[in-house]
Chains A and B, each alone.
Chain A
Amino acid sequence: MIEIKNISKWYGAFQVLDNCSSSVSKGEVVVVCGPSGSGKSTLIKCVNGLEPVNQGNITVDGQEVTAKNTNLTKLRSRIGMVFQHFELYPHMSVLENLCLAQEKVLKRSREEAVSRAEALIERVGLSEHIGKFPSQLSGGQQQRVAIARSLAMDPIAMLFDEPTSALDPEMINEVLDVMVELAKEGMTMMVVTHEMGFAKKVADRVVFMDEGRIVEDRPTDDFFGNPESERARDFLSKILNH
């Protein structure tokens, strides 16, 4: 489904991604982790072309994201993305947040968009909040709305960029629960996160990054049971010891 081949990227003279390759098959859940500044968020933003790459190529569902003649807008409409800071549209109600792209991109009728939105908002347990504005919701609720907003587009894959990093601890689980459910239903997912409990529970593979390089890319049990690299062992000991 997602093929990342030898991509490199520079910000000026600073190299953020160094010859990274990986893949996510249909129905697979891949967790990307690593210390901050390791390039994992940049990597996931390259997958739907929010960040351009300087070298290498990425294909999603057979279409090359990095090619000039690709209809990037169309391709993006088929890939869901959830952001660290939710990025709900603050001037629109929850319902309108879910309807905007359905109507403007997928050209669904108003009734169709609303009924799809209502079903998804119910699914993330926020039916009574559908008329509210994002600022009236807690962080966890906002992120669940953001997930529902992405799902409203019926994506073929979902990208999560540190979906719980900006949340208060007591709200992390309500978001992870929605993601676990999604994973169990067979959604193709690429998730940048530090939530190792989530990784152990649902990830098929773990990609570990450091200084712009993919250091490990292995089945979840192997990664946690027997990390190969010194850096991964060091990283795991730091975040699992508490």
Chain B
Amino acid sequence: MGDFDFQVIINSLPFLWQGLQLSLWLTFLAIIGGLAFGTLLALARLSGIRTLAFVAAGYVNLIRSIPLILVIFWFYFLVPLALGRPVGGFQSALIAFVMFEAAYYSEIMRAGIQSVRKGQVHAGQASGLGYWQIQRYIVLPQAFRNMIPILVTQGIILFQDTSLVFVVSLRDFMTASSIVARTEGRLVEMYLFAALVYFVICFAGSMLVRYLKGRMAT
């Protein structure tokens, strides 16, 4: 390890930072989209309307039985076919992540919605609020709050999973690190550094989860 070269890392920081921005941006958008679509799936499963619940359950179970990398591939080839025009790698990857994460978020939100006491719904109904008003103002805010630690944990997993976008030639943080590692012939340095960055970000996330859990317990 005597010839460990820090300079190669420092020199490539701007390039790596671009990759990291893509990873973080993709994570952020996929969380928002996945949460929104996942919440709708959860509501569908709990709606009591059998066809709707069946379709939503089918979707969730299908997606959860398929490797993420395959879903990314799929959308890369399917979305342009459906739209009739090519879309960028980022857009197709984002759609794939949203569709994929929604399946997981829907299960989390389903548990969250079920954690809200039935009496809360009754109170809303008794005051004349409609179904969507009850969900929006009473049930979902509480469900979301109860589930924040698990939602953040899922977000951490999602962040790690964004490293798979290399398959559609997107230059995320992991891909950027690989490029530097190979072109500079500094595999040890770059892959150690990449691991360190992922560790710091994800560990900070885990600490956040711990903090949130502690706050909720009081």
Contact = CB atoms under 8 A, between A and B. Distances in A.
A76 B142 contact: no
Contacts of A149: 127
B143 to A, nearest CB: 10
Interface string B148-190: 0000000000000000000000000000000000000000000
B125 A76 contact: yes
A91 B119 contact: no
Interface in B103-149: 117, 119-120, 122-130, 133, 137-138, 141-142, 145
B133 A104 contact: yes
Contacts of B145: 91
B120 A87 contact: yes
A76 B137 contact: no
B146 to A, nearest CB: 10
B126 A104 contact: no
A232 to B, nearest CB: 29
A100 B127 CA distance: 9
Nearest to B119: A87
A89 interface: yes
A105 B129 contact: yes
Interface in A60-87: 73-74, 76-81, 83, 85, 87
B142 A50 contact: no
A89 B128 contact: no
26 contacts: A48-B125, A50-B122, A50-B125, A73-B125, A73-B128, A76-B125, A79-B126, A81-B122, A81-B127, A83-B123, A85-B119, A87-B119, A87-B120, A87-B122, A89-B120, A89-B137, A89-B138, A90-B142, A91-B141, A100-B127, A100-B137, A101-B127, A101-B129, A104-B137, A105-B129, A150-B126
